[in-house]
A and B are shown apart, each in its own frame.
Chain A
Amino acid sequence: GENVEQHPSTLSVQEGDSAVIKCTYSDSASNYFPWYKQELGKRPQLIIDIRSNVGEKKDQRIAVTLNKTAKHFSLHITETQPEDSAVYFCAASQSSGNTGKLIFGQGTTLQVKP
């Protein structure tokens, strides 16, 4: 079955710097890759996603890149702010079959120091 590895497990950056979180997946049939943000004590919420027919997607200060050949994808946050501090989860799934099954990475705790 699908396995998603996420690194690093913790990341500390200075406000204004960039942060990069990387994930690798094992199932080449996976074609949808979302990223979720979980603030302290809150539920995970989708912040950006990418489908396998796209190599990069950007939304303001966040971007996601996908390398299908290498089976890895990354989240990039530029000009980090204290409110970016949270746990970030990557995930992978297959849209074919419509199973609703989503495999999550282990999570990255991002701390942005003011």
Chain B
Amino acid sequence: EAQVTQNPRYLITVTGKKLTVTCSQNMNHEYMSWYRQDPGLGLRQIYYSMNVEVTDKGDVPEGYKVSRKEKRNFPLILESPSPNQTSLYFCASSLSTSGKNIQYFGAGTRLSVL
């Protein structure tokens, strides 16, 4: 089954404790992205990757890191989480073809930073 898998689904942590949210896709998509969803702000892109070892900042990259060592994986790293990073996070992969960029989202990770 084609899917985007992110883990964990729920995470409660404390300020300053490094964490990683994993994301994996089995559709051989070149493009992967991380978004955060906050009430009234919609989905804001944190980082995106066009291919292995190619990443770029989205609209809200501060406080986050990513890596793309393999095509299927795109982990999101919070080196020193802060309470303002409490949010719902979505990983997505996409195939840009025929003028379309269709994003397939993971199930989401709800993060609380205390």
Contacts and interface: CB of A to CB of B under 8 A. Distances in A.
B42 A34 contact: no
A95 B96 contact: yes
A105 B59 CA distance: 13
A43 B108 contact: yes
Contacts of B32: 100
Given A43-B90, A43-B108, A102 B50 contact: no
A95 B42 contact: no
Contact of A100 (B33, B35, B41): B33
Contacts of B31: 98-100
A104 B94 CA distance: 15
Contact of A46 (B42, B96, B102): B102
* B contact face: mostly helix, strand, loop, or mixed: strand
A76 to B, nearest CB: 20
A6 interface: yes
Interface string B32-62: 1101000011111100111000001011000
A61 interface: no
30 contacts: A6-B42, A9-B40, A31-B99, A34-B101, A36-B103, A42-B107, A43-B105, A43-B107, A44-B90, A45-B105, A89-B42, A93-B101, A95-B99, A95-B100, A95-B101, A98-B50, A98-B96, A100-B50, A100-B96, A101-B48, A101-B101, A102-B94, A103-B45, A104-B35, A104-B45, A105-B42, A106-B40, A106-B41, A107-B40, A107-B42
Interface of A: 1, 6, 9, 31-32, 34, 36, 42-46, 49, 51, 89, 93, 95, 98-107
Interface of B: 30-33, 35, 40-45, 48-50, 56, 58-59, 90, 94, 96, 99-103, 105-108
